[in-house]
Structure 1
Amino acid sequence: MIDAAEPLTPSARTSAYVAAMGLRGLDPLVVFEGAKGERTTEAIAEALELAPDVDALITFNDLRAFAVMKAAQKAGLDVPGRCAVLGIDGLAMGVVSTPELSSLDLDIAAVGRIAVELATGMQTGALPTSGPSVHRVVSHTLLLRESA
């Protein structure tokens, strides 16, 4: 996982990835490229150092996936021949990259609607500000394009 965060504060997406890998008895590898992608090249080098046979890179979002794909190719990784790249968001612009970006397509309209409902409920006191009662699941679809 290439996270767009800092090592001491992993994103919720990375935390979910680590938990899912743990449930399957797998050892997750996470490297951090920084919130603005300032360490993308270094993150790819770090991933290759820690796992020379890496065959898939999951990124924080689709925009970061484009940069990761470029940095991986510059580092000599054949994407998707040797290493798949997967973004998260399902942006339509994924079809204009080479290779086309595979992505976990989220229902962004539902994300927005749920965010407003939660914020309103928390503001009025109808919902707590954290805990299991405010966790939501958003529908998603795996878009398999050329990068995976």
Structure 2
Amino acid sequence: GSSRTSAQAQPSPPPSASTSRAREAAGADPSTNLGASEAQLSKRVAHLEADLALLQQRKSQLERENEELAVAAAKTPDLEAKLKEALAHGARLEAECRHHRAEEARREKLEDQQAEIARSFTQLQGVVSQLVLRLSEIN
């Protein structure tokens, strides 16, 4: 991670004279190596700056999300109260429905009884009519 990254970003100490002479003896140009090191360091700095910009964007995004979550968390008690109220109202409606279903069943039973009584009354009227006819025949 970051310890390795910071170690790479720091320039190394300048080469000693003996190292420089050894390179010259080997045919290496010290200014070429120094230029290559500077180019590598410049490239590394550019990458680190790009990484920093991405991290700052991510930090801003996370801060916005955190604010949104804080707002949502603040609304939670209200939502919980509304949910409890809605559940209680639903329970009252269910109880009312059960009561109405029971009343409907009772009403249907009474209507059936009333229809049976009406049929019995009609039969009884027929019997009474026949009895009245016979009585009038007897008299």
> Which bin holds the TM-score, normalised by the shorter protein?
under 0.3
Higher relative contact order (CA 8 A, sep 6+): 1
In terms of fraction of residues, the more helix-rich structure is 2
Q: TM-score, normalized by length of structure 2?
A: 0.25
Q: TM-score, normalised by structure 1?
A: 0.24
Larger radius of gyration: 2
- Structure number with the higher strand fraction is 1
